A and B are shown apart, each in its own frame.
Chain A
Amino acid sequence: MKKKKWTPFDIILTFFMLIVIVVTLYPFLNILAISFNDAVDTARGGIHIWPREFTLANYQEIFGSNDRLLQAFTMSILRTVVGTIAGIIASTMLAYVLSRRDFVFNGLVGFILVLTMFISGGLIPEYLLIRKLGLINEFGVYIWPMLLSAFNVIIIRSFMDNLPPALEESAKMDGANDFVIFLRIIIPLCLPVIATIALFLAVMQWNSWFDTYLYARGNEVLTTLQFELMKIIDNANISSGDINNQNAQVIAGQTSPQSIKMAITIIATAPILAVYPFLQKYFVTGLTIGAVKS
């Protein structure tokens, strides 16, 4: 391609994109700077993207002297790891069964799955179900209700549909059963799409706070980083007419200084920022395939 001349239009576009970048990034950099700034100094205000009095004290406070936040951090990691692995096993297995057009119940299973995208019981029946199942204040409440999503299964299935069928057939002729084919042939070939869905599941698990709020508030061991952060925000809005408020006050103690709050925000954001540049190229293609096909 030959080099084209830059027109005023190009300059305006470039300028516009730079504004988009600044608007998106500034809040994050601001929070990062405050999290590394001395808590007393922060109260004076006026910190932008560079800490004025650099200190690690806020992070030391969280990881050193605050047992509850450390507990929350561990629980967030645990639920993310277990939830992601369980979710991947469930969705790839179901997707494989649905990719087998010769399966006798293919149509029925597919129908049962897809219909869930259009109907849902709503908040109250789901809450009562979780209660009936005895999942309140149990670790299982983080895993079971989120095990499967029809959308993820459909994305994985459409990826499997595009695999060369010859591989599967030769394995079948060698006498491998369906489960062995799934484990030995399909899974290794599906790694790109599995990486995409794993990222989605991990982000969803890591970011969840409402299930803790609704189902696991009575068990301090099950508290998560997002929920602790939510309680701090809720504390700032102390007089809101929220049903949870008195409870939140008792658990979270007094209002945290701004710098500690920002340090928690950074800790809750960091794992996502760490993984997402690597997986970024996967999920864009994954999403477009899924969107176009479904």
Chain B
Amino acid sequence: MGQVDSVQDTQQNLPESSSPLKTQVKPGLFSKNKKKAPKPPVQGGFWKRLSKQKALLCMSIPFVAWLIIFKYIPVAGWMMAFQDYKPQFGLFDQEWVGLKHFKDLFNEPMFYRALENTLGMGILGLVFGTLSAIAFALFLNELRFVALKKWTQTISYLPHFVSWVIAANIVITMLSTDGFINNFLEGLGLIDNPINFMAEPGLFWGIVTAADVWKETGWNAIIYLAAMAGVDPQLYEAAKVDGASRLRQMWHITLPSIRSVIIVLLILNIGNLINIGFEKQMLLGNNIVYEKSIVIDLYALDYGIGMFRYSFGTAIGIFKSVVSVILILICNGIAKRIGEGRVF
């Protein structure tokens, strides 16, 4: 051990002693762990350095300005939720009304329907999305036939790259009364008359979840496959010597090895549970299934922009942010308690 350490020491010292110039700029790049890398030694005072870095300053100013305008000003717009916003006046010349819009929000039955749908589809998507991605990655990882493995992988993330407009069009076509699914079920003799899937409110959550699984499983599996590629092969050798079958190897070695990746992704996704968006619901929904398809973002769109209730719509946005922060803190706390990887 001592020998190894000393070799590493001399290697680390080499650049410093042989070329002092090199270490003055970006010593962080020499060390593997960038977070622990020391800050570069400062040369000259602040103004002297600044005058040398005019080009960098010019290259960053437009983008900092962009970030402030397009990302930070909308956050300042949160003030609207506590005002009776009228577009003809400035943000600071509005009438302040306190929590009025939040009270209105919590008194609207439609809000609870939107919340229920958002969480319902969010949880279904999270559970089935995660399970299908892990299962797909596990099976793909075990596949011996290399050519098939490549082809399956390439094809599996193809749907990720098409828009939800196209995906929704595909789903509606497949599920139409003369579409593939109805033909298939009739062919098997399971149903006598075609089912109008898109007009069944009870099926809407399931259709959205299935469409999501179809579109994103392959893409979501990439990260799990990358984690599986990093598993120490010696573990499998040892398991083989002990006579473990491949199913047992998957269960006892592959899955535990990627557990921290699964948990980190779960935490991130649970934090986003309420931010499931609106694209799928807007494109697949119609007025027959409205009660099951309205989600919080669509609600904000219809009631906020559609009815010019800007302050009310902003209050919905704030509610969403608060819920997602609470969710992520809870998950992080749970992860900490069971001693697994956490996000922060």
**A161 touching B139, Cβ below 8 Å:** no
- Residue among A13, A103, A122, A161 with the most chain B CB within 10 A? A122
Give the total number of A-B pairs whose CB atoms are below 8 A apart: 268
**A129 touching B77, Cβ below 8 Å:** yes
**B165 touching A178, Cβ below 8 Å:** no
Known: A30-B173, A127-B305. A17 touches B152 (CB 8 A): yes
Inter-chain CA distance A18–B73, complex, in Å, is 50
A288 interface neighbour in B40, B76, B222, B300, Cβ under 8 Å: B222
Inter-chain CA distance A45–B29, complex, in Å, is 62
A144 interface neighbour in B70, B74, B163, B223, Cβ under 8 Å: B70
A90 interface neighbour in B63, B313, B318, Cβ under 8 Å: B63
Inter-chain CA distance A24–B151, complex, in Å, is 12
Residue A253, interface by CB 8 Å: no
Inter-chain CA distance A168–B247, complex, in Å, is 51
Residues 70-110 of chain A: 1 if any B CB is under 8 Å from the residue's CB, otherwise 0? 00000000000000000000100110110011111100010
Residues 20-37 of chain A: 1 if any B CB is under 8 Å from the residue's CB, otherwise 0? 110111111011001000
A265 interface neighbour in B25, B155, B169, B223, Cβ under 8 Å: B169
Residues of A with C-beta under 8 A to B76: 121, 125
What is the number of residues of chain A that contact chain B, defined by CB distance less than 8 Å? 100
Residues 126-156 of chain B: 1 if any A CB is under 8 Å from the residue's CB, otherwise 0? 0000000000100110111100110110111
Inter-chain CA distance A173–B178, complex, in Å, is 71
B324 to chain A, nearest CB (A): 10
**A126 touching B222, Cβ below 8 Å:** no
**B290 touching A241, Cβ below 8 Å:** yes
Which residues of A6-26 have CB atoms within 8 Å of chain B's CB atoms?
6-7, 9-10, 13-14, 16-18, 20-21, 23-26
- Residue among A26, A127, A261 with the most chain B CB within 10 A? A127
- The segment out of B3-11, B54-62, B252-260 that lies at the interface is B54-62
Residue A191, interface by CB 8 Å: no
Known: A102-B25, A102-B40, A123-B317. A20 touches B55 (CB 8 A): no
Known: A97-B59, A103-B56, A165-B22. A125 touches B75 (CB 8 A): yes
Residue A124, interface by CB 8 Å: yes
Inter-chain CA distance A125–B222, complex, in Å, is 35
**A21 touching B155, Cβ below 8 Å:** yes
**B154 touching A23, Cβ below 8 Å:** no
Residue A120, interface by CB 8 Å: yes
Residue A292, interface by CB 8 Å: yes
A123 interface neighbour in B68, B139, B247, B297, Cβ under 8 Å: B297
Which residues of A146-166 have CB atoms within 8 Å of chain B's CB atoms?
147-148, 161-162, 165-166
B170 interface neighbour in A31, A119, A133, Cβ under 8 Å: A31
B116 to chain A, nearest CB (A): 18
Residue A210, interface by CB 8 Å: yes
Known: A13-B143, A125-B74, A272-B161. A240 touches B56 (CB 8 A): no
Which residues of B63-116 have CB atoms within 8 Å of chain A's CB atoms?
63-64, 66-78, 80, 87
A107 to chain B, nearest CB (A): 9
Residue B16, interface by CB 8 Å: no
Residue A221, interface by CB 8 Å: no
Residues of A with C-beta under 8 A to B290: 240-241
Inter-chain CA distance A120–B275, complex, in Å, is 11
Q: List 10 A-B contacts (CB under 8 A).
A: A17-B143, A31-B170, A100-B26, A109-B64, A123-B305, A161-B28, A166-B22, A210-B279, A229-B166, A241-B302
**Known A131-B87, A168-B25; further 7 A-B contacts with Cβ < 8 A:** A21-B156, A25-B158, A97-B59, A122-B313, A124-B80, A243-B302, A269-B162
Q: Which 10 A-B pairs have the closest CB atoms?
A: A121-B74, A122-B317, A125-B77, A207-B163, A237-B286, A178-B55, A243-B306, A125-B74, A124-B313, A45-B178
- Which B residues fall within an 8 A CB radius of A? 21-22, 25-26, 28-29, 34, 39-40, 46, 49-50, 53, 55-60, 63-64, 66-78, 80, 87, 136, 139-140, 142-145, 148-149, 151-152, 154-156, 158-159, 161-166, 168-170, 172-174, 178, 180, 183, 198, 214, 218, 222-223, 226, 246-247, 279, 282-283, 285-287, 290, 297, 300-302, 304-306, 310, 313-314, 316-318, 320-321
